[in-house]
């Protein structure tokens, strides 16, 4: 049975105004916006003034409103709004990844206790339908990895860098085009990608991680020499949110990666996002689309609203399944580490080095590092060191390759 949806909308910015227009054009939905709550009374809006309000209780205390769509740019205020909406028995749709990643358990518990839905498709990958696909389509036991470019700002900057534009100029261009905030830390240091990864890991593997447990390293410190290395080897640099099932759990982190022309993400440029899902029988599948912007993001919000008509909710079945694992750190990855300072490269905790380059202006080494050793370094704060993950697969300490590497190290130590 279809439910008639009376929507209270919080926020009328990029996404909120997009949703208003998209909803007005959608003939199939039995849904209407009964009130819009915003912050600034002096702003002009492309919506009837009778709909615009400034008091959140106009929506939260209205018993006819059965859906709250939260699209504001203040996570603390959003937290209070969403909690209050769920507690008063209203379904909630939001695009706020930070809010969901940081308060996941509390908000899900509240939605279940009040028998309402909390949906957030737009929080990851903008227009790409990935949350509901991971939730409904892929079994945990056959799913082996989910990785993607889920931040359009950094992908735009990296696309420019790959063409030889410096980081500073590329960031400025991104800010002029409205892709990057004046204070870009959340994007360029990989925090935004990390919040999204927390949600991907939950829906892909049923594992709940706190944002603090997930390592994020962004693109701020990449140097032209790193880009030159990429060009020489035929790679491009992409910032990946990456989650992979290994022998004893889930590896999950955010870091720049080198990708070659054979990689599905190689040609994903500018502000586009892409998510690559790998499963046992279906092999690799690529989802690509606009990761941000008014209408692309509103389209994902609209899809959630549409799902509410049929009382859809995430069931988190994988969380209850026995096979749902945990986040692990005992695995190896192959990395490139570069710096103008030779000592920085030498002191990096490589387990095994296989290529080293020294010159007057720049030095780099490539080799394997144990993830738990990497985790101890705050790379976002190490301005004179850059790290990029190489295309070789990750492997756990318990895998055949891990045991071989350990034996090799023991042998070297004895001799
Ligand atoms: N922009 C994108 O492409 C994109 C993509 C994916 C997800 N998202 C997420 O979508 C959400 C909205 O982003 P946006 O880009 O649309 O933001 P935005 O353009 O900056 O607009 C924010 C809106 O929130 C309103 N607002 C702020 N604090 C409020 C409060 N306490 N009560 C009521 N309204 C308040 C503002 O009111 P005034 O108009 O009065 O200032 C404004 O209308 C964020 O969670 C963002 O992370 C955005």
Q: Is 44 known to be catalytic?
A: no
409 has pLDDT over 80 = no
Q: Is the CB of 99 within 6 Å of ligand 1? A: no
Contact yes or no for 309/291 (Cβ under 8 A): no
Q: Are both 274 and 388 inside the same structural domain? A: yes
Residue 309 placed within a domain: no
pLDDT band at 402 (very low <50, low <70, confident <90, very high): confident
Reported as a single tens digit per residue, the pLDDT across 369-396 is 999 999 999 999 999 999 999 999 999 9
Whether 81 shows a pLDDT value over 70: the answer reads yes
Choice among 90, 196, 245, 290 that is catalytic = 196
What six digits make up the tokens of 37? 């709550």
Are 140 and 56 members of one domain? no
In a domain, 399, yes or no: yes
Please check whether residues 74 and 139 belong to one and the same domain: no
Mean pLDDT score of the chain, rounded to an integer? 94
pLDDT reported for residue 322: 56
CB 142 within 8 A of CB 283: no
CATH number of the domain where residue 177 is located? 3.30.360.10
Would you tell me how many other CB atoms lie within 10 Å of the CB of residue 80? 12
DSSP state of 138: -
Burial letters for 236-272: b for 16+ Cβ neighbours within 10 Å, e otherwise?
bbbbbbbbbbbeebbbbbbbbbbbeeebbbeebbebb
Quote the CA–CA distance of 16 and 87 in Å, as a whole number: 23
In the numeric block, the tokens 């709940």 are attached to 208
**Band of pLDDT at residue 319, cut at 50, 70 and 90:** confident
Query: Taking a C-beta distance cutoff of 8 angstroms, is the pair 159, 269 a contact?
Result: yes
**Beta carbons of 219 and 153 less than 8 angstroms apart:** no
In a domain, 269, yes or no: yes
Confidence of residue 140 (pLDDT cuts 50, 70, 90): confident
Tell whether 317 is covered by a domain.
no
Q: Let me know if residue 82 belongs to a domain.
A: yes
pLDDT at 415: 61
The model's pTM: 0.96
pLDDT confidence band for 318 (50 / 70 / 90): confident
The domain boundary, picked from 94, 119, 144, lies at 119
Query: Has residue 361 got a pLDDT over 80?
Result: yes
For the Cβ of 101 lying below 6 angstroms from any atom of ligand 1, the answer is no
Domain's final residue, options 68, 88, 119: 119
Which of 92, 119, 146 finishes a domain? 119
Cβ of 227 less than 6 Å from ligand 1: no
DSSP 3-state of 261: coil
Please tell me whether residues 143 and 95 are part of one structural domain. Answer: no
99 lies in the same domain as 175: no
Residue % of the chain over a pLDDT of 90: 85
- Model confidence over 99-112: pLDDT tens digits? 999 999 999 999 99
Q: What is the pLDDT of residues 216-242, one digit of tens each?
A: 999 999 999 999 999 999 999 999 999
pLDDT at 413: 67
From the CA of 324, how far away is ligand 1's center (Å)? 34
pLDDT band at 408 (very low <50, low <70, confident <90, very high): confident
pLDDT band, residue 405 (cuts 50/70/90): confident
**pLDDT surpassing 60 at residue 294:** yes
301 domain-assigned = no
Domain presence at residue 346? yes
- Average pLDDT, stretch 316-333? 83
The verdict on 153 and 106 lying in the same domain is no
In this structure, are 22 and 139 located in the same domain?
no
Number of domains in the chain: 2
The answer to whether position 226 is within a domain reads yes
Question: Do 107 and 138 share a domain, yes or no?
Answer: no
Domain, as residue range, for 337? 131-295+324-404
Q: Helical H runs in 189-223? A: 191-205
Same structural domain for residues 247 and 369?
yes
Report the C-alpha gap between 36 and 19 in whole angstroms: 11
> Residue 7 belongs to what H/E stretch?
strand 5-10
For residue 323, what pLDDT is reported? 55
Do 205 and 60 lie in one domain? The reply is: no
> Given this model, what pLDDT does residue 185 score?
96
CATH number of the domain to which 80 belongs: 3.40.50.720
- For residues 191 and 170, state if they share a domain: yes
Does the Cβ of 75 fall within 6 Å of ligand 1?
A: no
Q: Do 158 and 268 have their domain in common?
A: yes
């Amino acid at each position: 049975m279809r439910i008639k949806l009376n929507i209270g909308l919080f926020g009328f910015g990029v996404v909120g105004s997009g949703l208003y227009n998209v909803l007005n054009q959608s003939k199939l939905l039995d849904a209407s916006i009964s009130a819009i709550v915003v912050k600034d009374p002096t702003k002009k809006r492309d919506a009837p003034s009778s709909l615009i309000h400034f008091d959140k209780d106009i929506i939260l205390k209205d018993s006819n409103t059965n859906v709250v769509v939260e699209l504001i740019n203040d996570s603390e205020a959003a937290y209070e709004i969403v909690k209050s909406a769920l507690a008063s028995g209203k379904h909630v749709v939001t695009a706020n990844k930070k809010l969901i990643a940081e308060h996941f358990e509390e908000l899900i518990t509240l939605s279940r206790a009040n028998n309402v839905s909390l949906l957030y498709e737009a929080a990851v990958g903008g227009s790409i339908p990935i949350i509901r696909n991971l939730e409904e389509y892929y079994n945990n036991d056959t799913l082996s990895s989910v990785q993607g470019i889920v931040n359009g700002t950094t992908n735009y900057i990296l696309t420019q860098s790959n063409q030889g534009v410096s980081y500073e100029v590329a960031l400025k261009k991104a800010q002029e085009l409205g892709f990057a905030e004046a204070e870009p830390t959340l994007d360029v240091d990989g925090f935004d990608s990390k919040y999204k990864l927390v949600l991907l890991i939950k829906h892909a593997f049923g594992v709940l991680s706190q944002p603090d447990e997930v390592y994020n390293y962004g693109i701020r410190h990449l140097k032209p020499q790193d880009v030159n290395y990429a060009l020489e080897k035929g790679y491009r640099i992409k910032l990946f949110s990456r989650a992979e099932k290994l022998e004893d759990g889930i590896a999950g982190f955010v870091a720049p990666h080198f990708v070659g022309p054979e990689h599905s993400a190689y040609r994903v440029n500018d502000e586009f996002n892409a998510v690559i899902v790998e499963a046992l029988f279906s092999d690799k599948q690529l989802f690509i689309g606009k990761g941000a912007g008014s209408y692309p993001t509103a389209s994902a919000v609209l899809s959630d609203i549409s799902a509410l008509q049929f009382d859809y909710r995430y069931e988190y079945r994988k969380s209850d399944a026995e096979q749902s694992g945990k986040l692990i750190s005992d695995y190896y990855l192959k990395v490139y580490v570069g710096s103008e300072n030779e000592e920085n490269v030498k002191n990096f905790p490589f387990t095994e080095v296989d290529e080293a380059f020294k010159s007057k202006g720049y030095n780099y080494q490539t080799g394997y590092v144990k993830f738990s050793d990497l985790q101890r370094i705050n790379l976002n704060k190490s301005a004179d060191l850059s790290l990029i993950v190489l295309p070789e697969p990750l492997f756990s300490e318990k895998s055949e390759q891990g045991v071989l590497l350990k034996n090799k190290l023991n042998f070297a130590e004895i001799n």
